């Protein structure tokens, strides 16, 4: 019954927040007039209120109102009763720590498995993988575990970036980091480039958007999958 | 009594492993004929043996032999008896988790406070800060805490990178990540560019190498410090 859009980024270069997704969101959120927004990832450290106001602005063209999960005293109940849910990007460690703090992972997993339409961008997509072991974010807080919602049978690396061929920087490339991940973890990693998203309907996982995705499986060379590829076979 | 070199990177572009540091290391490790190497960070997932062999090669010009901490059954004793210690780069989460696993943080802190000459590069420098909250690495394993050795009264961000002015990438810049860090943590962060290192003698902390360092203090605009600046005032 799952009905999820998991996007690499909320914003593509030269475009406003969520703009490139609006056509898809119009279909995805058909019949929805209010969305519950999870603002916990706080990009750049902005407040929950400011982040929620920004998102409310982005949903105006769809005539959908937005309320923030932080405003609810009973957060589990707010999730259970939500018509639809959006989790925005920011810091994945902060987001996951808050979900553990309020004990919301089980409830969120249950409603999303039950069909509540969901949008995740960046950190909000990352938490739908098996774990946040492949986030790009800085570990500015310490969550009790890196285990996440496990709504897809792999990990996501949002904002996937190819190595720059003319770089003189000696820090690890994204691909090298994911190789290190596979020294300790076996699940595949989907490197989602900006402009890509996963559309999950029941257990059918399809790559959408223009870019290809880079797939990292343990003991295999990384490879590319084109838009509209079926990722349901990855596990 | 501290006597530490904490370098942003082991290798600068177009140069071999540790090559740019050899002149300084010759002075730093004067009288030392054997170094204990901590290979736990395993860059790219290489084995402890392979990493130790690589480092042994790099120390040959200084006529210093290298043995790996992983070869010792009693790792605390190996640290206590070491003439000098080098911790190499790789994955900071893996490194710190291993130090917690073998219960080595206290011993390592004690000998380094007592004067054992130490070299850290990248992850090996990062663990000398207050915490690993400002690592760039992927959280491929979950350490029980992000608290680190605290041999300097701030955090280090190795491989510090300026934002690219012509980038179309929408992922967070390093500066934005550190701003997010300061939404949850108060200690300063020293952004150490590749080619820079901190020289710590007793409680005197001096920036060495050609690049300037970028300093991030809570509620202040980031600023640059030149080579040979005294960083002892940061706290």
The three-state (H, E, C) secondary structure of chain B, written as one string = CCEEEEECCCCCCCCCCCHHHHHHHHHHCCCCCEEEEECCCCHHHCCHHHHHHHHHHHHHHHCCEEEEHHHCCCHHHHHHHCCCEEECCCCHHHHHHHHHHCCCHHHHHHHHHCCCCEEEECHHHHCCCCECCCCCCCCCCCCCCCECCCCCCCEEECCCCCCCCCCCCCCCCHHHHHHHHHCCCCCCEEECCCCEEEEEECCEEEEEECCCEEEECCCCCCEEECCCCECCCCC
Is residue B14 scored above 90 in pLDDT?
no
Q: Which CATH architecture has domain B3-225?
A: 3-Layer(aba) Sandwich (3.40)
Distance from CA of B111 to the nearest CA of A (A): 27
pLDDT tens digits, one per residue of B168-200: 777 778 888 999 999 999 999 999 999 999 999
Residue B161: its pLDDT value, please? 86
Q: Which of A11, A176, A181 sits opposite B170 (nearest CB)?
A: A11
Residue B127: its pLDDT value, please? 98
Distances from the Cα of B130 to the Cα of A44, A149, B149, B151, B154, angstroms: 22, 31, 6, 7, 6
Residue A47: its pLDDT value, please? 96
Give the span between the Cα atoms of A99 and A96, in whole angstroms: 5
Distance from CA of A81 to the nearest CA of B (A): 31
Is residue B206 scored above 80 in pLDDT?
yes
Residue B174: its pLDDT value, please? 87
Active site residue A227: no
pLDDT tens digits, one per residue of B109-157: 999 999 999 999 999 999 999 999 999 999 999 999 999 999 999 999 9
pLDDT tens digits, one per residue of A114-146: 999 999 999 999 999 999 999 999 999 999 999
Q: pTM of the full predicted structure? A: 0.95
Residue B233: its pLDDT value, please? 87
Query: Which of the following is catalytic: A10, A131, A137, A196?
Result: A137
């957060």: which residue's tokens?
A: A75
Which residues in chain A are closer than 8 Å to B44, comparing Cβ atoms?
172, 176, 179-180
Across the interface, whether the CB atoms of B134 and A138 are under 8 A apart is answered yes
- What is the pLDDT of chain B when averaged over all its residues? 95
Please say whether the beta carbons of A205 and A198 come within 8 A: yes
Residue B44: its pLDDT value, please? 87
Give the span between the Cα atoms of A154 and B17, in whole angstroms: 35
Across-strand partners of B225?
Answer: B213
Residue of B93, B94, B130, B139 to mutate, testing the A interface (most A Cβ within 10 Å of its Cβ)? B139
Residue B167: its pLDDT value, please? 77
Which residues in chain A are closer than 8 Å to B16, comparing Cβ atoms?
none
Instruction: Collect the ranges in chain A with pLDDT lower than 50.
Output: none
Active site residue A131: no
Residue A138: its pLDDT value, please? 96
Please say whether the beta carbons of B91 and B41 come within 8 A: yes
Active site residue A142: no
Contact pairs from chain A to chain B, CB under 8 Å:
131
Is residue B166 scored above 80 in pLDDT?
no
Q: Give the 3-state secondary structure of chain A.
A: CCEEEEECCCCCCCCCCCHHHHHHHHHHCCCCCEEEEECCCCHHHCCHHHHHHHHHHHHHHHCCEEEEHHHCCCHHHHHHHCCCEEECCCCHHHHHHHHHHCCCHHHHHHHHHCCCCEEEECHHHHCCCCECCCCCCCCCCCCCCCECCCCCCCEEECCCCCCCCCCCCCCCCHHHHHHHHCCCCCCCEEECCCCEEEEEECCEEEEEECCCEEEECCCCCCEEECCCCECCCCC
Domain ranges of chain B: 3-225
Query: Which of the following is catalytic: B8, B10, B58, B122?
Result: B122
Which residues in chain A are closer than 8 Å to B171, comparing Cβ atoms?
9, 136, 158-159, 161, 194
Query: Which of the following is catalytic: A48, A72, A159, A182?
Result: A159
ipTM, two decimals: 0.92
Across the interface, whether the CB atoms of B179 and A44 are under 8 A apart is answered yes
């Amino acid at each position: 019954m799952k009905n999820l859009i998991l996007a690499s980024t909320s914003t593509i270069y030269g475009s406003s927040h969520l703009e490139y997704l609006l056509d898809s969101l119009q279909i995805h959120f058909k019949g929805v007039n209010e969305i519950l927004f999870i603002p916990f990832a706080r990009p750049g450290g902005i407040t929950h209120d400011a982040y929620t106001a920004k998102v409310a602005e982005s949903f105006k063209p769809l005539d959908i109102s937005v309320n923030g999960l932080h405003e609810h005293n009973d957060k589990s109940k707010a999730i259970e009763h939500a018509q639809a849910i959006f989790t925005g990007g920011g810091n994945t460690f902060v987001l996951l720590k808050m979900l553990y703090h309020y004990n919301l992972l089980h409830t969120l997993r249950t409603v999303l498995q039950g069909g509540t339409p969901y949008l995740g961008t960046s950190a909000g997509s990352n938490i739908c993988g098996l774990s946040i072991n492949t986030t790009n974010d800085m570990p500015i807080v310490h969550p009790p575990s890196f285990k996440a919602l496990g709504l897809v049978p792999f990990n996501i690396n949002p904002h996937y970036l190819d190595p720059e061929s003319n770089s003189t920087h000696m820090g690890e490339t994204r691909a090298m980091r994911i190789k290190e991940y596979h020294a300790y973890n076996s699940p595949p990693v989907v490197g989602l480039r900006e402009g890509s998203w996963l559309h999950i309907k029941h257990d059918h996982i399809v790559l959408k958007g223009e870019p290809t995705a880079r797939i990292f499986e343990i003991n295999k060379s990384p490879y590319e999958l084109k838009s509209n590829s079926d990722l349901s076979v990855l596990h």
